[in-house]
Amino acid sequence: MEKNSFIIEEWKSSSGKVFWGIVLISFAGIFSTIYDYISYLVDLFDIVRGYASSIMGSMGGNAEMQLYDMTDIIGLGLSTKVLVIIGYILYLWGLTSFAKIQRLESTQQNVLKVRKAAILLIVAFFLSIVFGVLSIIPFAGWLFGIIIWILTLYCFYKMRNAFTGLMSAEDFDERARRGARNARFGAVCEIRLKWLPFVVAAAILMIVGFAILFISSRNSLTGAEGLLKTVGMMIGAVLFVSFASSICFMVGAFWWPIMGWYRIKTGAPSEEESGEEDVTDGSETSSSLTVLENNEADVPNTFDSDDNEKKKKYYYIAGGAAAVLAILIGIFTCSGLTGSGGNDLLPVVKPAWEKFVVVTQETPLYKEADTSSPKLAVTMENLESDAIARNFKWNEVPDRRGWTSYDVTVSNDVVLPVVSEKGDWYLVSYDDTDLGCAECYVPKSNCREVKPEPITAKVLAGMTQYNYYQANFGLQTEGKYKNICFVSVMAEMEGCYVDVAVLTDGKLVNPMTRRIFTAWDKCTGTPFEVKDGQLQYREDMEQDGMLDARNIKTEADAELLFNLIPAETSRMQEVAYYFPEVSRDRLFVFTQNLAATSSDVISETQDDPEDPEITQALNDFQDLIDRVHSTVEACEKSGEMTSNDICQGIEEARDGLNEKVDRMTEEQLSHYEALCQKANDLIHYADSVNNTATVTEVFDSTMVEM
């Protein structure tokens, strides 16, 4: 009971300091801003007075112009700045104490982020004072102005993100969370105020640019006067709307932080915290907990009726203003209240494609927008093995020795991302899981445009495949991990694993930075744990021999799994789209290479960098191995074998290639090592047949020197 009382008292005390600090900063800040504008007007008047005095003096008139004594106003302005500084001190003091009493580290970190932003705001405030002194110096004034603008904008973005985390803090009760939501919207209003001048300037430039283009496209100035009047009215409307918007945003920036911290101050820690602390203290603690819960329940009830009335009034005003602003300036006004998805916990790169086509007639892929140009082909080694080298190439390039190739043909219903268009051709990105992405041309006559539909929670619930593998999707729809999707996959070669993707703008983006393989063994108690680098999960979370990510329904489970999966770097990401008119059963996944280009994966589009002399020597060495193989087969039948039969020419080939190892490419070196391995296998085979120790020694010594 004493511990709970102490936490409640500390909560009230520390949040109270923050609240009164915000009040002091807000009210003193208004007078400080007014003082700054008066100072700018006085500076402007001084400049005008200087010019006027100079002109009147040259004309023989009275060169002295008296100005009202500004001493009192300057004193008031400086005192308001002192009050702002005191407000920031209270703000930081309260935030430091408030962070210490938080139970969860995530909540504590978010409070400390608010404090860091406040410290940077103090720095910006002092810079603004310096800027007021240096504003008469052109370059220094502009430089300090830009620095202050960037620093202030960064601080409010940091505050917005921190309050977003506090909106779902488990340490806060519902009233405190509402307070965090109010404080967040105050930061959003500040951000809008910072960007508003640029938006207005861009709108005016667009209007003026449209007028100039319209006038320049006409042979005469007929109607130009009416157009200029229209342009003037449009600019006036933009300025009026921007003024109304700035008033709304300033009111929001002033009111919402005060209201937010008032609600946090009158809120309390969540009930879960009290329950966890008191569950081991016996019946006496349980009765104390009951009293504490009743007291906590009474705190918000005192304000519920007043809050409801206030909220109604504010909602009416805000709703009417939002409706007008939405009609006039559209998405800009609404962007502070709604997002486009995604989650900052899993950064991704914006997908590179906006347009897609589906193949309607089987087609090859061309190097240029011409049917006579080379076609894309796949070249591979002629080896009887599952692990063979494969590469893209254009079919104009001859096959290397020991390699074969075939032209790539895209079948019907394959969806391709469009990079660009050229006449009757599309430049598309062709994706192969093993070989990468290649940019090629397809004729428009062989395909048609297709548009994806947004991926939603309902769509993912019905999906059973990802990249042609069996899969299920655990999309988080609320809280800290909103839009994070755990993708559980059963791959044929790799086994079962879990990827972490994010749903953004109706697309499922997998940055391939968080992946963990799952183990056969199950854990007990906790939903997830990692053992020997593999993820174990409870037996009740299994479905069809794999983790059923759809069972990850609570934020606690999502946070546990997210933190258990190690983060890595990746040079590519997978972007999944939904094309229901092509297939409703699966997502179409495309690989976006963030580092390489098309020419990087089609290695033979450029001149072969290999040294022809080395290539010829390797070919001769392979011929030698082939002759030895034939000799071994013949000798096996006859029962006779000598070291000369096997080692003839090997030393000469070795000596020639040994001098060129440093000039070999990676491909040549790989080929060389493979040939040595084949030769070694033949020697061991010969040794097993004839037990010719001398032969083995000769060849082994050759291999060592190689």
Average pLDDT by stretches of 10, the chain with 706 residues: 70 83 77 61 59 54 48 54 78 84 85 86 76 60 76 87 86 86 88 87 85 64 61 84 84 85 83 45 41 41 45 52 48 37 80 91 93 91 72 86 86 92 93 83 94 91 87 91 93 88 91 89 87 89 90 91 88 90 88 67 51 76 75 60 53 66 71 75 60 43 41
Number of domains within the chain: 4
514 and 646 fall within a common domain: no
Decide if 82 is inside a domain: yes
Amino acid 105: pLDDT: 86
Residue 340 located in a structural domain: no
Same domain, 589 and 623: no
Cα(548)–Cα(536) distance, integer angstroms: 12
Contact by Cβ (8 Å): 601, 435:
yes
**pLDDT the model gives residue 34:** 66
Residue 316's pLDDT is 47
Q: Are residues 641 and 667 in the same domain?
A: yes
| Same structural domain, 473 and 412 | no
233 within some domain: no
SS3 406: strand
Q: Is 75 a domain residue?
A: yes
Q: Residue 58 domain-assigned?
A: yes
Nearest residue to 251 via CA among 201, 314, 308, 304? 314
Considering the domain architecture, whether residues 542 and 670 belong to the same structural domain is answered as no
Nearest to 298 by CA among 188, 387, 175, 399: 175
Residue 150 lies inside a defined structural domain of this protein: no
Sole residue written with tokens 């939603």? 456
Given 77, 99, 121, the domain boundary residue is 99
pLDDT tens profile 680-705:
666 666 556 554 444 444 344 444 44
The answer to the question of residue 48 being in a domain is: yes
DSSP annotation of 618? H
Residue 589 sits in the same domain as residue 634: no
pLDDT tens digits, one per residue of 238-247: 888 888 888 8
| Among 157, 181, 192, CA closest to 260 | 181
Per the domain annotation, does 623 fall within a domain?
A: yes
Indicate if 472 and 592 belong to the same structural domain.
yes
Residues 331, 345: Cα–Cα separation, whole Å: 25
The reported pLDDT for the residue numbered 647 is 56
Among 604, 637, 660, which residue terminates a domain?
604
432 and 540 belong to one structural domain: no
Same domain, 594 and 669: no
Do 436 and 569 lie in one domain? The reply is no
Q: Are 448 and 358 in contact (CB under 8 A)?
A: yes
Q: How far apart are CA 493 and CA 472, in angstroms?
A: 18
Cross-strand pairs, 575: 509, 590
What was the pLDDT predicted at 341?
Answer: 62
Residues 507 and 617 both lie in one domain: no
Do 508 and 554 belong together in one domain? yes
pTM, rounded to two decimals: 0.43
> 350: which DSSP letter?
P
**Which of 58, 81, 99 is the last residue in one of the domains?**
99
Domain containing residue 419: 355-450
Which residue do the tokens 């003096």 mark? 57
Report CA-CA distances (Å) from 8 to 165, 280, 661: 21, 20, 75
